Amino acid sequence: MNKIHKRAKIADKTATIILYITASFFILLLVVLTGYILFQGFRAVTPQLLGFSGDGIGIQLFNTIYLVLISLIISVPIGICAGIYMAEYSRPGRITNILRSSIETLSSLPSIVVGLFAFLILVEATHMQYNLLAGAGAVSILSIPLITRVTEDAIRGVPDSYREGSYGIGATKWQTIVKILIPSALPRIITGIILAAGRGFGEAAALIYTSGMSSDIDFSNWNPASITSPLNIFRPCDTLAVHIWALKAEGIASNSQQIADLSAAVLVILVFLFNLGSRFLGRFITKKNSI
Amino acid sequence: MKDNSIKIYTENLNLFYGDCQALKNINIEIQENKATALIGPSGCGKSTFIKTLNRMNDLVPNVTITGDVYFDKLNVYKEYDIVELRKKIGMVFQKPNPFPMSNYDNVAYGPRIHGVKSKQKLDEIVEKSLRSAALWDEVKDRLKKNALGLSGGQQQRLCIARVLAVEPEVVLMDEPTSALDPLSTQKIEDLVDELKNKYTIIIVTHNMQQAARISDKAAFFLLGEIVEYDSTEKLFSVPTDKRTEDYITGRFG
């Protein structure tokens, strides 16, 4: 008995140590990587480089945020509806299985494949130039399965006792979904949206042939119908990630490496701020709902 | 024709989970404004039975039901809209299941989904329901606080208030005190005693003392059948069936 006890204790200690080491390793990795990217990026930054003219990356920063926003406007409603369907409406059976494996396959498609597909459908077939909407569409194809999956899991994760309580006093399925299930699942759904947005921020391959590698916009022109307006969704639009790729691959200016590094650093900060922001938003909504 | 004091009755009610028969030929008459206790060992079909009354079994896949349930002389499975039915037959569950929202919103949930919008009306309903559930004094200063912060017993009374807020005629209780401490149990029992003046109560319980204390009539379930159904007093003092006697004297179960 004593011996077994001792062995169990040693195993317990060992496991604790190993898990702590693993966690520390990842934290270290994160700190080193982020530190390196930020250091490299801001080493020789000038206000000019952060601006909206010449070789400044302000345009790409704006494009990134705008493209992710548009792609979320497309993918969040579709993804959430599909997730709710999968969790609450689909009946176990062949069709549901086919649906589920389609969603899984879709989520593991290489982004260059999605990009080329979107190029054929959204650019070639529509006889348009590279445009922001096509890029947002390509990113949506990548993020819809993600949001669907997370929403389904989140809704399924709501305890059945909540459903019983709601149905038990005569609520309909839709009322239960809207008033009980979605609010309860919201924190997890928001996590899914953050992940999906992360894909948009970091996506390059799917955008090269859809939203293109350049933009020509004029920040004094806010008429959405004009092709040089920042708000126009039918204009070419290069995001930070695409910009990094373009500069690293074929940049010819003397400081193109420096601009690419700066873009990377700005992108990291952008993603970080977005994550913080959406968590605060999530907490705010949850709180507001519970009063 | 059934007499008017019969609120709910069943005719040859059978229920199957897949191939497994969980209820066998249940014929029972539940009287209005009385507390009816359903007792019996675990897995004997008590909970399954009360869930047929407000059609909660509709949520369970693979359930087949034959026979009929009548509520106010109308067929529950054929002549009722499910929303209307569940509004009239409320249910309190084994584990307190308040929604993760404020105490106020929990109680106001039912009236709101049934279309009450006026703030003043909602306030009235919430206060009245919480008073009926003997919880008002404990929560009146924290109506806006999250219900998950209440104790288990308070949560269960909140769930009762939530049911009362839609003005049901029947309240089904599925072992409402099995997850509670003795003091909270006492409060719920007092409450049931109070509520049966206005509502028809059907309560499933494992606790025979509880059944004896609070119910007017009692039914003994065994293996999906009703072995004996009589006034509580008679069932506990002079049971006619040997199996009932064995169970209530603690020989099995």
| A186-210 per-residue burial string, b: 16 or more CB within 10 A, e: under 16 | bebbbbbbbebbbbbbbbbbbbbbb
The rounded Cα A16 to chain-centroid distance in angstroms is 33
The partner residue sitting opposite A171, judged by closest CB among B90, B113, B163, is B113
Average pLDDT over residues A135-156: 95
What does the pLDDT look like over B59-69, one tens digit per residue? 888 899 999 99
Beta B20-26 vs B217-222: how paired, if at all? unpaired
Average pLDDT over residues A259-263: 92
* B146 and chain A in contact, CB less than 8 A: yes
What does the pLDDT look like over A178-201, one tens digit per residue? 999 999 998 889 888 988 898 889
Provide the pLDDT for residue B253.
Answer: 52
Average pLDDT over residues A250-275: 90
Contact B91 A164 (CB under 8 A): yes
Contact B90 A167 (CB under 8 A): no
Burial class (CB in 10 A: 0-12, 13-18, 19+), A4: exposed
Distance (Å, rounded) from C-alpha B145 to C-alpha B141? 9
Q: Taking Cα atoms as reference points, which of A153, A260, A290, A267 lies closest to residue B98?
A: A290
Contact B93 A165 (CB under 8 A): yes
What does the pLDDT look like over B108-127, one tens digit per residue? 999 999 999 999 999 999 99
Q: What are phi and psi of B46, to 5 degrees?
A: -60, -50
Provide the pLDDT for residue A229.
Answer: 85
Provide the pLDDT for residue B248.
Answer: 84
Q: Taking Cα atoms as reference points, which of B76, B94, B93 lies closest to residue B85?
A: B76
Q: Does residue A291 register a pLDDT over 50?
A: no
Nearest chain A Cα distance for residue B172, angstroms? 10
Average pLDDT over residues B146-171: 93
Contact A170 B110 (CB under 8 A): yes
Chain B residues whose beta carbon lies within 8 Å of the beta carbon of residue A164: 56, 59, 91, 93, 97
Measured between CA atoms, the residue of chain A closest to residue B144 is A291
Average pLDDT over residues B6-10: 91
Measured between CA atoms, the residue of chain B closest to residue A92 is B61
Mean pLDDT of chain B: 91
With a threshold of 0.85, tell me whether the complex ipTM lies above it: yes
Interface of B with A in 17-46 (CB under 8 A): none
The DSSP output letter for A87 is: I
